A and B are shown apart, each in its own frame.
Chain A
Amino acid sequence: MDYLQISKAANIRKKITSGIIYALLAIWAVIVLFPFYWMLLTSVKSYGSYNAEHIPSFFTLSPTLQNYVDAFTTVSLGKYLTNTLIFTLITTAIMMVVIVLAAFAFARLDFKGKNIVFTLFLSLMMIPNELVVITNFVTVTNLDMRNSFLGLILPSVTSVFYIYLLKENFAQIPDDLYYAAKVDGTSDYRYLRRVMIPICKPTLITIVILKVIECWNSYVWPRLITDDPDYYLVSNGIQEIRENGFGRENIPAMMAAVVVISLPLIVLFLIFRRKVMEGVTRGGTKG
């Protein structure tokens, strides 16, 4: 055996290995994508043709948008979407204000008891939501805030974890900048707005995106606190559609609703792909 033969054999082995790897990765990609394909496909089949298929076909030659019309007219999908949008925007906005102020206090300001309070904050991260949801349910019910946006929003506007994440980022800004600003007579609040927030914009955007995803998909709390369909968010909306939606088992229309609900976040993800994945690596949960 000479050198050429050996290198040829090695080359072939390498090609086979990478072929196997690509095949395995492609299989998983199909498993991930297939449900999305299926919901898109089913959503453009007409009610009649869907139910006539004993063996579901993998494509359709006569796509229809009727199901999307049905999804917006027969059930109040539009209402659910608006509710979710309002809920997501307000919750995220309030939360950003609350956590920026708290993170600023922990990172920049000096006050008595700061370290103890911060340790206490960190220990709160271990508390699972399931433990506090029970009392919150009773509290909100007693305050007569069921079926209202206030009841939906208020318990979700703080996150110890995001305060921690932001505080770490704020703390990386050099002290010299702060002292220089102090010499110029800049107030703390102005310093926060003009210097810290612009510098930490990437982290802030990441937190906003993660929170938006969380809000859009939240299910448990909205389910507990709303039983009036006028206040349903999309997760409960889709559950409602499933249980007593279109009157009959109209799977294509249901899938159209599923597509409409899933689309906003998928678009958001495709636009901010890097930001989302980097953010989840740094501070994601769900898994």
Chain B
Amino acid sequence: MDKKNLKGWLYLIPAFLFLGVFMIYPLIDVFIYSFEEGYNSASQNFYGVGLYNYSYVLHDPYFLQALKNTFILVIITVPVSTGLALLIAVGLSSIKPLRELFQTIYFLPYVTNTLAVGLVFMILFKKTAYSDGLINLLINLFGGSSVDFIDGPYWAKMLVLCLYTIWVVMPFKILILTSALASVNPIYYNAAKVDGTSAFRIFRRITLPMISPMIFYLVITGFIGAFKAYSDAVALFGTNLNTAEMNTIVGYVYDMLYGDSGGYPSFASAAAIILFVIVLTITCINLLVSKKHVHY
């Protein structure tokens, strides 16, 4: 019996070792960091324990800017991308020829490097001395005037960030919704057809309830993903996000940790925990709302 026990643990040792050092210990440590006041990473000591780090972070204009950016990003991209993905998935499942081709194309952004393709978006939107960029020319074509989307006004930069984020997250959502639609039992559709139900009514009364768990899953993962937005912003605006007014909460955490403004693991920890609390709260609210609207 003892040998048997030992064997089980033996197989788990590598996983435990890595998880212990790089996940469980850091998890405890991050809370400790966040309460240590005036921690100095060079001398590795601190002079007090308390809530100062949290109060500093919550009063830091850069953090408030990041908070605002992240919330705008979440509020715009999650509904838009989920709705658009639903539209496209419904379209995809109603056609036969070319379906595989479309599915393959739609999935491409998932496997591309966010940083690399972000540069393409940047040159499409950027206004330079040579050229206004393709998007601005399109705007001019329709009678608008050029805007610098990369170094220009706040709303323009936010718009590009939202567009790029949506472009990046769509593949996953389309894929999940298409497979959810394919798994709806055709019996329901046939029954509705016999009754002469209109297409819109079928969608509202059969399709939507049947795939609501998946939509809900996408909304939750979408919220969590959007709250952790960071590399999309770096791809578009470079690493100095604070100057660009485009920082996100995660970006703030990393800036506090490392780089020109770095060296403050305590502030970074406090900000990371605030982010975690926000995400947890939103997820709980989502769960409560879903109880009313999701049919399992």
Listed in ascending order, the chain A residues whose CB lies under 8 Å from chain B are 18, 21-22, 24-25, 28-29, 31-33, 35-36, 38-39, 42, 51-56, 97-99, 101-102, 104-105, 109-112, 114, 117, 121, 124, 127-128, 130-139, 154-155, 157-158, 160, 163, 188, 213, 216-217, 219-220, 223-224, 234-235, 238-239, 242-243, 249, 251, 254-255, 257-258, 261-262, 265-266, 268-270, 273, 276-277, 280-281, 284-287
Contacts and interface: CB of A to CB of B under 8 A. Distances in A.
Interface string B210-228: 0000000010011011001
B23 A238 contact: no
A134 B268 contact: yes
8 contacts: A54-B130, A55-B131, A111-B9, A128-B276, A135-B26, A238-B116, A254-B119, A255-B119
What's the dominant secondary structure at chain B's contact region?
A: helix
Contacts of B170: 32
Interface residues of B, number: 91
Contacts of A112: 5
Nearest to B107: A277
Given A269-B111, A284-B172, A286-B110, A131 B26 contact: yes
Contacts of A284: 110, 172, 175
Contacts of A224: 254, 257-258
A277 B106 CA distance: 11
A33 B221 CA distance: 25
A101 to B, nearest CB: 5
A180 B8 CA distance: 20
A273 B104 contact: yes
A127 B27 contact: yes
Contacts of A117: 12
Interface stretch (B121-129, B154-162, B186-194): B121-129
Interface stretch (B13-21, B47-55, B61-69, B286-294): B13-21
Contacts of B94: 18, 21
Contacts of A158: 14-15, 18-19, 22-23
Contacts of B114: 217, 219, 235
A25 B265 CA distance: 47
A150 B7 CA distance: 28
B234 interface: yes
B108 A234 contact: no
A281 B175 contact: yes
A243 B108 contact: no
A131 B30 contact: yes
B106 A128 contact: no
Contact of A269 (B26, B108, B134): B108
A213 B171 CA distance: 14
| B88, B108, B257, B258 — most chain A CB neighbours (10 Å) | B108
B120 interface: yes
A261 B109 contact: no
A53 B119 CA distance: 19
B116 A261 contact: yes
Contacts of B272: 130-131, 133-134
Contact of A262 (B9, B15, B117, B168): B117
B26 A139 contact: yes
Contacts of B241: none
Interface string B231-270: 1001000110000000000100110011000000100110
Nearest to A128: B276
A98 B20 CA distance: 13
B221 A285 contact: yes
A6 to B, nearest CB: 13
Interface in B133-189: 133-134, 137, 167-173, 175-176, 179
A238 B115 contact: yes
Nearest to B84: A28
Nearest to B109: A32
A258 B134 CA distance: 19
B172 A286 contact: yes
Contacts of A130: 228, 250, 253, 272, 275-276
| B120, B175, B218, B250 — most chain A CB neighbours (10 Å) | B120
| B8, B130, B268 — most chain A CB neighbours (10 Å) | B8
Given A188-B7, A265-B112, A266-B112, A135 B172 contact: no
Nearest to B20: A158
B131 to A, nearest CB: 5
Contacts of B27: 127, 131-132
A191 B268 CA distance: 47
Contact of A29 (B4, B106, B230): B106
A64 B11 CA distance: 55
A102 B254 contact: no
Contacts of A35: 117, 120-121, 124, 167
